[in-house]
């Protein structure tokens, strides 16, 4: 794992986290402390102008409702936050959701789904589908609801759709994933190849989160926990973005291949030289801002072509 340059804000934050954890020596790091550290994720993101936030509960699931001025309240991004299924929160991700929602002209709901290890698989997916079902019951059409997620949240955004399919619910028209973490077998091709260029991800850290999420609950090859084992035939149009120097890049490469082979309309946007979940740099880095624009344009084009 290399040292970030001074201009790489996201890399600085990731390195700071690792440094702080290193100061603890051999002492165990509690999940509560990890959650406090990871809520600092939002520091990479500039506050988007003209966006309001409100604590809300939808389908029994708490979270933050993100409303850009002039946005269409009928269209909702169902935002599943990253953090290894155990960390992250609506607080860490509200600004990122705000940038995406503002660019797309829609609202967003950032779920505070139940987190591991307090709640194992499939509690997180159950919370996602509860929100989706509640929004449908409130009168939103499937086309107006778009699951979106970063890292572990990308896994959950995909699994939400597969759960909807299993329950016979109408499917959304499109899904957005940002640096999705899908491989619960922890054997991705870029885990070692990109280890020197990824400032955050390590195989050991991933395994810790895998254990928190599914140990004693299910197998790492269960398609609902590991979407790389899913059948993507009939899946909604899909947007994937990831940095090519991150250790989880292989997950996105495999996801694109699976979706494309199944006939899915898939777009893969690669952030050259960018870190894990690089759109977190929205408002602070031109490539992150460009990616937010790309996501928004892709989103609007999908609705226009309905």
Residue 85's nearest CA partner among 35, 17, 45 is: 35
> Which of 71, 89, 92, 151 does the annotation list as catalytic?
151
Active site residue 151: yes
Active site residue 159: no
Name the token pair of 264. 């899915």
Active site residue 16: no
Beta carbons of 251 and 245 less than 8 angstroms apart: no
3-state secondary structure the chain: CCCCCCCCHHHHHHHHHHHHHHCCCCCCCCHHHHHHHHHHHHHHCCCCCCEEEEEEEECCEEEEEEEECCCEEEEEEEEECCCCCCCCCHHHHHHHHHHHHHHHCEEEEEECCCCCCCCCCCHHHHHHHHHHHHHHHCCCCHHHEEEEEECHHHHHHHHHHHHHHHCCCCCCCEEEEECCCCCCCCCCCHHHHCCCCCCCCCHHHHHHHHHHHHCCCCCCCCCCCCHHHCCCCCCCEEEEEEECCCCCHHHHHHHHHHHHHCCCCEEEEEECCCCCCHHHHCCCCHHHHHHHHHHHHHHHHHHHCC
> Which of 246, 247, 285, 291 does the annotation list as catalytic?
246
Catalytic residues: 151, 246, 276
């Amino acid at each position: 794992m290399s040292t970030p340059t001074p201009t790489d804000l996201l890399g600085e934050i990731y390195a700071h986290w690792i440094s702080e954890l290193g100061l603890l020596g051999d002492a165990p790091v509690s999940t509560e402390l990890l959650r406090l550290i990871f809520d600092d994720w939002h520091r990479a993101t500039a506050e988007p102008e003209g966006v309001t936030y409100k604590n809300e509960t939808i389908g029994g699931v708490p979270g933050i409702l993100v409303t850009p001025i002039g946005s269409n309240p009928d269209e909702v991004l169902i935002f599943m936050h990253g953090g290894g299924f155990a960390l992250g929160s609506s607080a860490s991700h509200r600004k990122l959701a705000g940038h995406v929602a503002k660019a797309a002209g829609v609202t967003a709901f950032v779920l505070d789904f139940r987190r591991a290890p307090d709640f194992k698989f499939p509690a997180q997916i159950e919370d996602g589908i509860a929100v989706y079902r509640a929004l449908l019951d409130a009168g939103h059409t499937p086309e107006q609801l778009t699951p979106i997620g970063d890292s572990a949240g990308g896994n959950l955004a995909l699994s939400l759709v597969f759960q909807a399919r299993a329950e016979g619910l109408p499917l959304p028209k499109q899904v957005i994933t940002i640096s999705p973490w899908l491989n619960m077998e922890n054997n991705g091709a870029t885990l070692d190849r990109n280890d020197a260029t990824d400032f955050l991800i390590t195989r050991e850290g991933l395994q810790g989160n895998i254990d928190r999420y599914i140990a004693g609950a299910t197998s790492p090859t269960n398609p609902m926990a590991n979407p790389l084992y899913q059948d993507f035939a009939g899946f909604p149009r899909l947007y994937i973005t990831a940095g090519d120097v991150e250790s989880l890049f292989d997950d996105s490469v495999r996801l694109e291949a699976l979706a494309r082979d199944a006939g899915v309309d898939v777009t893969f946007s690669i952030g050259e030289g960018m870190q894990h979940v690089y759109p977190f740099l929205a408002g602070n880095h031109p490539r992150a801002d460009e990616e937010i624009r790309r996501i928004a344009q892709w989103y609007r084009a999908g609705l226009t072509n309905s």
